[in-house]
Amino acid sequence: MLKLTKKVDYALLALNLMAKSGEDGISNVRDIASLYSIPPEILAKVMQKLSKAGLIQSHNAPKGGYSLKVQAEEISVLKVLTAVEGPVGIVSCSDGTDRTCQQHDQCDIRSPLERLQNNILWFLEALSIRELGQEPAVLKGVTDGSSVFGQPLHHKG
Amino acid sequence: MLKLTKKVDYALLALNLMAKSGEDGISNVRDIASLYSIPPEILAKVMQKLSKAGLIQSHNAPKGGYSLKVQAEEISVLKVLTAVEGPVGIVSCSDGTDRTCQQHDQCDIRSPLERLQNNILWFLEALSIRELGQEPAVLKGVTDGSSVFGQPLHHKG
DNA sequence: TTATCACAGACCAAAATGATCTGCGATAAT
DNA sequence: ATTATCGCAGATCATTTTGGTCTGTGATAA
């Protein structure tokens, strides 16, 4: 529950690798899958979804593969999640998939849960593929205090 | 993906109801299940977990049921989630369940994902059952600006 | 022409989740 | 003491989601 799927993990790993390999670096499915021990067929599907979402550019040819279509800073984790798994919603009622919710009429906790969801989405949108590849030490400098990252788990107690 | 389970939904609904019914209000499974159209057996299990976690107090007798064991302000959504579904982790590697992760050695995105996870957990911990029952208008006053709730979804663009 | 790549979809397996069924134990009211 | 009402416990099954496999097609540079 509240867990990212493996497909998303794979997508993030691949995108992070591509981000590190520079602007026009081309990586193919076979190599990435081999490096991270990912089933090639699965990664292939994931990459296709990222391509359709406009996050990466496909080069369909020998020595081809994929390259980032936009800068790593512009690719948020939320975009990746949405591209791979569809719209994100922590409550089933709020993503339009559950139109037969038995609790809908009596439900009196929707608003706060949706607010909570918006915050999570905001975080996912705020974290870019570029930041994903930063070492903790590097990230630390810009994440203490004002930034949303690196907050303590417990706000009290 | 990233979705709360129905059991958690049920737990939050029940706890919210109990929070509204006052300090020593006792509610039984049958009534709550009936009110929200929840399968009684499911809700029963959920309530038992909440009881074992020390969030509610059981009264095993006729006219019995459950009452809050601690104040609604002290019951965070994270506590509920953990009680009902076990430890929360958005990445499988970080909750100790996946000790055979094929990507572990090569994985270079763990740190930022764990940071992201900590932020989500922090939000879940910051939201209490009491706040869950507040109307949007009521909540709005204390959530604009400094508070973590009610942030805009997009921080840029 | 061919080997290497992406593209596409059907298909199956495993796991998580939701729900049901059955029986037991505690206790207040009668 | 008996009984009806409640929680407690677990095994079991169905459904959905997810992860993975298989087969084949189309594009293109060497």
Residues 6+ apart with CB under 8 A from A121: A78, A88, B153
User: Does the pLDDT at position A139 exceed 70?
Assistant: no
What is the pLDDT, as a whole number, of residue B55? 98
What is the pLDDT, as a whole number, of residue A54? 97
pLDDT band for position A147 (cuts 50, 70, 90): very low
CA atoms within 13 A on the CB side of A134: 19
Nucleic strand C within 7 A of Cβ A44? yes
Can you tell me the distance from the alpha carbon of B100 to that of A20, in angstroms, rounded to the nearest whole number?
26
On whether the CB atoms of residues A80 and A105 are closer than 8 A, the answer is no
Can you tell me the distance from the alpha carbon of B51 to that of B56, in angstroms, rounded to the nearest whole number?
5
Give per-residue pLDDT as tens, A112-125. 898 899 999 999 99
What is the pLDDT, as a whole number, of residue B68? 97
Can you tell me the distance from the alpha carbon of A53 to that of A37, in angstroms, rounded to the nearest whole number?
24
Q: Which amino acid is at A111?
A: S
Q: At what angle do helices A77-85 and A6-20 cross, to 10 degrees?
A: 130
Interface contact flag, A108 B133, Cβ < 8 Å: yes
Q: How far is B76 from chain A (nearest CA, A)?
A: 11
Distance from CA(B40) to C1'(D5), angstroms, rounded: 15
Residue count (chain B): 157
Nucleic strand C within 7 A of Cβ B3? no
Interface contact flag, B115 A149, Cβ < 8 Å: yes
Q: Which amino acid is at A100?
A: T
User: Does the pLDDT at position A155 exceed 90?
Assistant: no
Give per-residue pLDDT as tens, A37-51. 999 999 999 999 999
A:B CB pairs within 8 Å:
179
Q: Using 70 as the pLDDT threshold, list the residues of chain B that sit under it.
A: 93-99, 135-157
Higher per-residue confidence, A96 vs B118: B118
What is the pLDDT, as a whole number, of residue A38? 96
Q: How far is B130 from chain A (nearest CA, A)?
A: 11
Which residues in chain A have Cβ-Cβ distances shorter than 8 Å to B135? 111
What is the pLDDT, as a whole number, of residue B95? 59
Question: What residues does A27 pair with on adjacent strands?
Answer: A66
